[in-house]
Structure 1
Amino acid sequence: MWKFILRRVLIMIPQLIALSVLIFLLAKAMPGDALTGQLANSPKMDPQTLVELKTKLGLNDPLYVQYTRWVSRLLHGDLGVSYIHQLAVKDVLAERIGNTVLLSACILVLTYLIGIYLGLISGRWNESPADKLIVGYSYVSFATPLFIFALLMLFIFGFKLGWFPTGGSVNIQLEHGTVAYYLDKLRHLILPSLSGALISTVGLIQYLRSEIIDTKLKDFVKTARAKGVPESRIYTRHVLRNSFLPIAAFLGYEITGLIGGAIFLESIYSYPGMGQLFLQSIMQRDFSVVTTLVMLSGIATLLGTLLSDIILSAVDPRIRIE
């Protein structure tokens, strides 16, 4: 097992290098930069001052020099400075990363709770009216883009019914640390979390349903029935036990999917997290923040894939490459 994990970690090193080069080149291909944006917003800044600032900040250096300097700073924990916020990038991220982690965790928990519950019903009583209803729901969810579904949820439950807040992460008038503060924070989380979870359950439901149906037809299940084992025990001891194991491998891939989903959800619900910051930084051409966020997302994706491979290898040792 440890050899397998070490091999996968070593494979990640060239992937990280290639990712960093790609991110840097794509960021440099963006039209303009934060300083040209400041020039457009500040008539007092003349072009000569802009040239001097670019030279001082090294923005006119060759690309390989800028890339080397950027990687060197990353390795030393220096993420650079946000020209728009006039703060260190790590300080800008510190204000938002907690909200994104909390939102992603809520979506992940709800995804597994809803997906496993519906998958169990659909698989055990397949071809029943409940199964057909769940399968129909999964098809509709699969065909519905996340941003469309999130907008509908916001319009119905936020604006029309007024059950949930339509933006923000907490009421700023509440005192931090009080019970009312945390309850209001939870209330702000419900709508975006449900929007993300209800769309993310499709793969989990379909996979668990297929696993249960396939397992029900295996010989060891038929043997248990022939011996007179109660149906409830057959499902708990044989069918579900074997069907649940591969589901654990979805955890890593669900984490990677949450990264992209957070961008849409945080923008639609005006939720102050890293996804919203990412879009704002692109619009404002804040090079340091954009590259850092994309790099962190890439690392999280690689770690999520690694986690899935580790879980799969623990569940089924046959996939390990010795």
Structure 2
Amino acid sequence: MTAYIVRRLLWMIPLLVGVSIITFAMLKRIPGDPVTVMLLESRSSGRVITEADRERLRKQYGLDKPAYLQYFDWLGEVLRGNLGTSIRMKQPVTEVIKQRLPNTMKLAGVSLVITLAIALPLGILSAVRQYSWLDYVLTAFNFVGISIPQFWLALMLLYLFAVEIQLLPVRGMRSPYVEPGFWNHLVDTVTHYILPVTSVTLASLAGYMRYQRAAMLEVIRQDYIRTARAKGLPEHVVILKHAWRNALIPIITLLGYVLVILVEGSIVVEAIFSWPGMGLLAVDSLQQRDYPVVMAIVMLSAVLIMIGTLLSDILYAIVDPRVRYD
């Protein structure tokens, strides 16, 4: 197992280099650059920008160099542990990420816990009671949930509960002003969480339920499950102890990406509800052509995907003793 993990970690190095080259090349293909965006914003405010100002800014940010030299400059700084400085916010990229990351982890973490707490039991129940009215209802819910786009669901929830009924806040994590007191702050925080958490949870609920149902249906037909029942074991012991453990393997594949979900969050939901997290940061940085921030977010995502995949493979061996890595 140790040799396998070491090999996987070493393979991450060329993969990350490839991801960085492709991402950097794609950013350079986007029309405009950070200086162009800055000049457009300055002109809209009435400021006069000369060509000398443009060249000075391009030289200041190293944009006057060929693209391959810009990439090597960025790579050299990364190897020294420096992710660069945000062109838009004039702060180190690490500081920008530290400010936004906790907000995304709070939203994604709460949504993930609620999703798993609902999806896994319902998936098991749907499989155990296959072809019952409950199974048909849950299957119909799954098809509807998978078919509805997340952005549409978030917009509908926003329109209904924040605009029409005006029951919940429209945006952000907290109100600009809250009456002093613990309960006032708690209620304000909870009300701001409801719509984003509901949007993320409903969007992912159907997928987890379908995976769990399909895995359980395959497992409960196995011979060792019939043998366990023939021994007279209680049904809940057969399902939870013998069947569910083996039915967790497909779910573990999805849980391998939990790290990415916790760090990157939902770009769509964060953008719609103006949630100050990593997803909204990625959207704003792309619009502003803030290359250092975009590169940091993409590379962080790539690292987490690789680590998540590796953790999934390790968990396979823990859940299923038959799985061995030589």
TM over 0.5: yes
Q: Matches of 1:93 and 1:255 in 2, distance apart?
A: 15
Please give the alpha-carbon distance, in whole angstroms, between the structure 2 residues aligned to 1:68 and 1:200. 39
Distance 1:307 1:313 in 2: 10
Residue equivalent to 2:28: 28
Measure, in 2, the Cα distance between the counterparts of 1:169 and 1:95. Answer: 13
Aligned partners of 1:33 and 1:285 also within 8 Å:
yes
Aligned sequence identity (%): 37
- Alignment check: 8 A CA contact 1:81 1:288 kept: yes
Aligned-residue offset at 1:10 = 1.3
* 1:305 CA drift (Å): 1.9
| 1:129-158 deviation digits (Å, cap 9, x = unpaired) | 111010111111111111111112222232
Q: Is the 8 A contact 1:97 1:273 kept in 2?
A: yes
Write out aligned runs for 1:88-167 (5 A): 88-167=92-171
> What code does the residue aligned with 1:214 have?
E
Change (3 A) 1:113 1:46: same
Unpaired segments ≥5 residues, structure 2? none
Matched with 2:37 is 37
* CA distance in 2: counterparts of 1:132 and 1:295, whole angstroms: 42
SS at match of 1:270: coil
Q: Which moved more, 1:166-175 or 1:3-12?
A: 166-175
> TM-score, normalised on structure 1?
0.91
CA distance in 1, matches of 2:263, 2:295: 15
Runs of 4+ in 1 over 6 A off after TM superposition: none
Q: CA deviation at 1:19?
A: 0.8
1:214 to 218, 223, 240: 218
The aligned residue for residue 51 of structure 1 is 55
The answer to whether 1:199 aligns with 2:210 is no
Aligned-CA RMSD value? 2.3
Task: Indicate conservation of the 8 Å contact 1:146/1:261, yes or no.
Answer: no
Contact 1:123 1:213 survives alignment (8 Å): yes
What amino acid sits opposite 1:34 in the alignment?
P
1:228-267 equivalent positions in 2, closer than 5 A: 228-256=232-260, 262-267=266-271
Residue in 1 aligned with 2:292? 288
User: Which one of 61, 68, 74 corresponds to residue 70 of structure 1?
Assistant: 74
TM-superposition CA deviations, 1:62-115 (whole Å, max 9, x none): 222211110121222322222222222223222211111111111211221121
- How many pairs does the alignment contain? 322
Stretch of structure 1 that moved more, 123-132 or 37-46: 37-46
Q: Which residue of structure 1 aligns with residue 308 of structure 2?
A: 304
Q: Give the Å deviation of 1:15.
A: 0.7
Question: Secondary structure at the residue paired with 1:85?
Answer: coil
